Protein backbone atom coordinates (compact mmCIF):
# COMPACT_ATOMS: atom_id res chain seq x y z
CA UNK A 1 0.00 0.00 0.00
CA UNK A 2 1.03 3.61 -0.50
CA UNK A 3 0.57 6.48 1.93
CA UNK A 4 1.59 10.09 1.34
CA UNK A 5 2.66 12.35 4.18
CA UNK A 6 3.48 16.06 4.18
CA UNK A 7 6.86 17.00 5.65
CA UNK A 8 8.16 20.52 6.27
CA UNK A 9 11.69 21.83 6.68
CA UNK A 10 13.43 19.96 3.84
CA UNK A 11 15.57 22.21 1.64
CA UNK A 12 18.10 20.02 -0.19
CA UNK A 13 19.13 16.56 -1.33
CA UNK A 14 20.69 15.81 2.06
CA UNK A 15 17.30 16.49 3.68
CA UNK A 16 15.64 14.07 1.26
CA UNK A 17 18.23 11.37 1.98
CA UNK A 18 17.80 11.78 5.75
CA UNK A 19 14.02 11.37 5.55
CA UNK A 20 14.35 8.40 3.17
CA UNK A 21 16.82 6.68 5.51
CA UNK A 22 14.81 7.18 8.72
CA UNK A 23 11.37 6.38 7.30
CA UNK A 24 12.82 3.55 5.19
CA UNK A 25 14.09 1.88 8.37
CA UNK A 26 10.53 1.38 9.69
CA UNK A 27 9.35 -2.26 9.64
CA UNK A 28 7.44 -3.20 6.49
CA UNK A 29 8.56 -0.22 4.41
CA UNK A 30 9.63 -1.08 0.84
CA UNK A 31 10.20 2.34 -0.70
CA UNK A 32 10.22 6.01 0.28
CA UNK A 33 9.85 8.67 -2.41
CA UNK A 34 10.33 12.32 -1.51
CA UNK A 35 9.24 15.30 -3.61
CA UNK A 36 11.45 18.09 -2.30
CA UNK A 37 9.47 20.84 -4.05
CA UNK A 38 6.15 19.93 -2.43
CA UNK A 39 7.32 18.17 0.74
CA UNK A 40 5.31 15.07 -0.19
CA UNK A 41 6.74 11.82 1.18
CA UNK A 42 5.16 8.72 -0.35
CA UNK A 43 5.78 5.48 1.51
CA UNK A 44 5.17 1.99 0.08
CA UNK A 45 4.65 -0.58 2.83
CA UNK A 46 3.21 -4.02 3.55
CA UNK A 47 0.47 -2.61 5.74
CA UNK A 48 -0.70 0.73 7.15
CA UNK A 49 2.02 2.38 9.20
CA UNK A 50 1.53 3.76 12.69
CA UNK A 51 1.55 7.54 12.22
CA UNK A 52 3.32 7.95 15.55
CA UNK A 53 6.22 5.83 14.25
CA UNK A 54 6.35 7.80 10.99
CA UNK A 55 6.27 11.09 12.92
CA UNK A 56 9.13 9.87 15.16
CA UNK A 57 11.22 8.83 12.13
CA UNK A 58 10.69 12.19 10.42
CA UNK A 59 11.53 13.97 13.68
CA UNK A 60 14.70 11.87 14.05
CA UNK A 61 15.70 13.05 10.55
CA UNK A 62 15.25 16.63 11.77
CA UNK A 63 12.00 17.58 10.06
CA UNK A 64 8.29 17.90 10.85
CA UNK A 65 5.35 15.77 9.79
CA UNK A 66 2.34 18.00 9.06
CA UNK A 67 -0.99 17.10 10.61
Q: What pLDDT shows up at residue 41?
A: 98
Alpha helices in 5-48 (DSSP H): 13-24
Confidence of residue 67 (pLDDT cuts 50, 70, 90): confident
At residue 12, does pLDDT exceed 90? yes
Percent of the chain with pLDDT over 90: 99
Confidence of residue 30 (pLDDT cuts 50, 70, 90): very high
Mean predicted lDDT score pLDDT of the chain: 97
At residue 36, does pLDDT exceed 90? yes
Amino acid sequence: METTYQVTGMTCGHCVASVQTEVGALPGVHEVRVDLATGAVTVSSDQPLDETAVRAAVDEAGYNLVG
